[in-house]
Structure 1
Amino acid sequence: MKHTPQSHLGAFLRARRGQLTPQECGLPDADTSRKVAGLRREEVARLAAISVDYYTRLEQGRVRASAPVLVTLVRALRLDDDQKTYMFELAGRSGAHPRRRRTVQRVRPAMRRLLDQLTETPALVLGRRLDILAWNPAAAALYTDFAAIPAGRRNYVHLLFSDPMVRELHRAWEHDARDAVAALRMEAAADPDDPELAGLVGTLTIRDPDFRVWWAEHRVNGAAYGTKRLRHPLVGDLTLDCDTWTSPDGSGQRLMVLTAETGTPSHDALRILGSWTTREPVADHAEDVTR
């Protein structure tokens, strides 16, 4: 069956409906016959002040949602800002992001300069689908030798699930992996017909049961900052702040930087890692990433 934008929206609505309880939404839960968690379609329709038939057709992908209906669904389904953005993207109502052409992903010169100037701080340039487009020596020392990984598998989410060394690096792997899946969901809303994204999701869905379950949850996350708790085989435990800055040119490229507060054991560990790395800038590998 061909997947349409409406069908993707319907899948998200069903998933979100299943994550809520009547109590969370201010509804009475006196029905002892309720056998599954989550709201019924009738309850969502009541909260959104729309007909059950119309909401049913929304979930079935048989009608395109209007902007006013989407606004009511934000409130009815208790969506946060990321979920709201994701839903409007799926419905084709955001108006903020024109459809992106599938062009060769090349690191912007300004991103490259920033990367090269961060000598003691691990940093990555992420592209569409969280592909890893470039990195500095400190990032390679912290994570893995990215240059040894074929370009087609040089993807942040793919490495989290399929590379044993990267997986073991994350002390809070489940938390970090779920966040990465949620970030990939945001990417899917911007270009749901991207064949490379479909291939990535298909591969991970087949290979990893956790990814399969978390992808089906339709959880989304566009957070630009957080904390990563890592355990490096050479320098031990690190607690790092992870901040991500998006390029203003609409390319979707992001600079991910990991830092530690000065004077902390984590900061000392980063300095040790940095002292073991070459000062030569990492060659630009973006020409290999052609999707």
Structure 2
Amino acid sequence: MATTTLPEFLRARRERLHPESTERRRTPGLRREEVAARAGVSVTWYTWLEQGRGGVPSDDVLERLARALELDDTNREMLFLLAHARPPPRRHTPPAKVTPALQRVLDNLHVPAFVKTPTFQIVAWNRAAVAVISDYAAIPERDRNMLRRVFHPEAAAFLPHADDMHRTCLAAFRVDIARAGASEEAAALVDELMETSADFRRLWAENELYTHGVRYRRLVRPNVGELVFETSVFSVDDSDGLSMFVLSPVDDASARGVEQLLRELAE
């Protein structure tokens, strides 16, 4: 099947809309002039768009077309992808709450996993994460933040390769907040860590950028020793920026260590 084009997309979405008047029409949906009026553009230019010769619309015009065509978030994204070959700017809305279905996914994983926001705030976790990383329910909500934790002076006690963790977390944080759009929460977190952590100031000045990717993480736990994990990060659909971290043990010793910590948690 051929890829959908912008003219095809516009026509299809226009024809799905119900006109406000009850007059009988020979064709379904709204007329071109009605969509143009809704979007505040000329009928001629909108007609050219549907014919594939209207030029490249600006972000502002695409947003007006999205409202005129009553597009949901998925179709709004498709509109921008077809017009600009990139997603639309993110709307500055709070991240969606963790749904019961997402929490069930976490609970059914037998390895440490948690869900975070674009500002690295941890908002959901499973028992294995409690056993291996931290009992998040027992600490203040403000402190459930990956950056605050890895740049804390005491983090070196359980992060044998803290500098690598600092560097990779901060580089991915830059990407995540850029994707999510500027926010007061992100700016306040950066200001706080710039003031309290020399390591953060040094690495922030280097301006490194790369996504989370698949990486190895080493954690040290009392009575267990060093545990080695392979981390994978998955975006959560329809969640406005939530992502899930999954830490998979890379060897038998690490897997046994997770099992031991889970048994100790249950005692």
Return 5+ residue gaps in structure 1 as ranges: 1-92, 280-291
Aligned to 1:187: 176
Distance 1:214 1:191 in 2: 21
Shift of 1:171: 1.1
Question: AA paired with 2:113?
Answer: A
Q: Deviations over 1:93-128 (max 9, x none)?
A: 88414323232541133321111112x311111112
Question: AA paired with 1:196?
Answer: E
Give the SS at the match of 2:230. Answer: strand
8 Å Cα contact 1:181/1:215 also seen in 2:
yes
Give the SS at the match of 1:243. Answer: strand
Distance 2:181 2:195 in 1: 19
Aligned to 1:140: 130
Q: 1:117 to 1:141 in 2, by over 3 A?
A: same
Question: AA paired with 2:243?
Answer: R
Aligned to 2:261: 273
Give the SS at the match of 1:267. Answer: helix
Instruction: Indicate which of 215, 220, 240 corresponds to 2:204.
Output: 215
Q: How do residues 238-249 of structure 1 correspond to structure 2 at under 5 angstroms?
A: 238-249=227-238
Aligned to 1:115: 106
Q: How do residues 120-135 of structure 1 correspond to structure 2 at under 5 angstroms?
A: 120-135=110-125
Distance 1:207 1:102 in 2: 28
Aligned to 1:12: none
Q: How do residues 85-124 of structure 1 correspond to structure 2 at under 5 angstroms?
A: 95-103=86-94, 105-118=96-109, 120-124=110-114
Aligned to 2:143: 153
Distance 1:211 1:267 in 2: 32
Give the SS at the match of 2:92. Answer: coil
Q: Matched residues, percent identical?
A: 30
Return 5+ residue gaps in structure 2 as ranges: 1-83
8 Å Cα contact 2:98/2:124 also seen in 1:
yes
Question: AA paired with 1:225?
Answer: V
Q: 1:182 to 1:94 in 2, by over 3 A?
A: farther
Shift of 1:184: 1.0
Aligned residues, how many? 184
Aligned to 1:258: 247
Shift of 1:185: 0.7
Q: 1:276 to 1:110 in 2, by over 3 A?
A: same
Give the structure with higher Rg (CA): 2
Q: 1:94 to 1:228 in 2, by over 3 A?
A: farther
Shift of 1:188: 2.8
8 Å Cα contact 1:159/1:167 also seen in 2:
no
8 Å Cα contact 1:142/1:273 also seen in 2:
yes
Give the ranges of 4+ consecutive aligned residues of structure 1 lying more than 4 Å apart after TM superposition: none
Q: Deviations over 1:149-173 (max 9, x none)?
A: 2212211111111262x44211111
Give the SS at the match of 1:277. Answer: helix
Aligned to 1:68: none
TM-score normalised over the length of structure 2 = 0.63
Shift of 1:195: 0.4
Shift of 1:237: 1.0
Aligned to 1:171: 160
Higher relative contact order (CA closer than 8 Å, sequence separation 6+): 1
Aligned to 1:225: 214
Distance 1:162 1:100 in 2: 31
Question: AA paired with 2:192?
Answer: T
Shift of 1:243: 1.0
Question: AA paired with 2:92?
Answer: R
Shift of 1:250: 5.1
236-245 or 107-116, larger mean C-alpha shift = 107-116
